[in-house]
Amino acid sequence: MNHAGLRPTTDRVRETVFNWLMQDVDGAHCLDMFAGTGVLGLECLSRGAASVVFIESSKEVALGLEKSIDILHASAATVINQNSIVAIQQADMKLSTALTKHKFDLVFLDPPFNFDCLLEAADLLEEKDCLSDQAIIYVEHVVQQPNLKFPRNWHRYKSGTAGQSAYGLFRRQGDL
């Protein structure tokens, strides 16, 4: 799928990240918050994730992702065609929807580099109580943002860089 503005995680970074996550995907409830092509969430499905929720704001890209999911017969996948920040803001933990059915064990936060919403997304996930106590959060951002302040109960335990991208894994340690 070729769509202006999509910046899929490179094969090399994806391989590294899933080597790190080798023991953590099977049975996990996953959220691909800025899904794009959905390559990270689709990889989770192929590795035995219990469920994956994809949030993608572009209707065209979301439809392409739904087609990929249909081809794979991935019944544990849900695509939400909405702005990721708005979708999380509107999540009501009292109602059972794809975003509230389970707390997420594994989250991918990889917003487009030209959007300044990474920290807002991280804070919203905490505010809306979307994460399991020991959730793992993958974060990818432009290298020139080294001093990002994530929620204080998120502890970075793996990191790397590739070209213009910095990426890493955080482990959530209970509530703030």
Residue 42 pLDDT: 94
Partners of residue 104 on adjacent β-strands: 131
**pLDDT for 2:** 45
CA–CA dist 109, 117 (Å, integer): 10
Tokens coding 97: 């929807």
Q: How far apart are CA 102 and CA 140, in angstroms?
A: 24
* From 1-10, 72-81, 131-140, the region with the lowest mean pLDDT: 1-10
Running DSSP on this structure, what letter comes out for residue 33? T
Kindly compute the dihedral angle of the four CA atoms of residues 46, 107, 164, 80, in this order, to the nearest 10 degrees.
Answer: 80
Give how far Cα 158 sits from Cα of 22, 51, 149, 155, 167, Å. Answer: 13, 24, 16, 9, 8
State the DSSP H helix or E strand holding residue 59, giving kind and residue range, or none if neither. helix 59-72
pLDDT band at 55 (very low <50, low <70, confident <90, very high): very high
Mean pLDDT score, 20-31: 96
Strand segments, DSSP code E, in the chain are: 29-32, 51-56, 77-81, 104-109, 131-142, 154-162, 165-172
Averaged pLDDT for residues 24-45: 95
Pairing of strands 154-162, 131-142: unpaired
| Per-residue model confidence as pLDDT tens digits over 84-141 | 999 998 877 555 577 778 899 999 999 987 778 899 999 999 999 999 999 999 999 8
Q: What percent of the chain has pLDDT over 90?
A: 66
Q: What integer best gives the mean pLDDT of the chain? A: 88
* Cα diameter, the chain: 42
- When pLDDT is averaged across residues 137-159 and rounded to a whole number, the result is 89
Q: Does domain 11-172 have CATH number 3.40.50.150?
A: yes
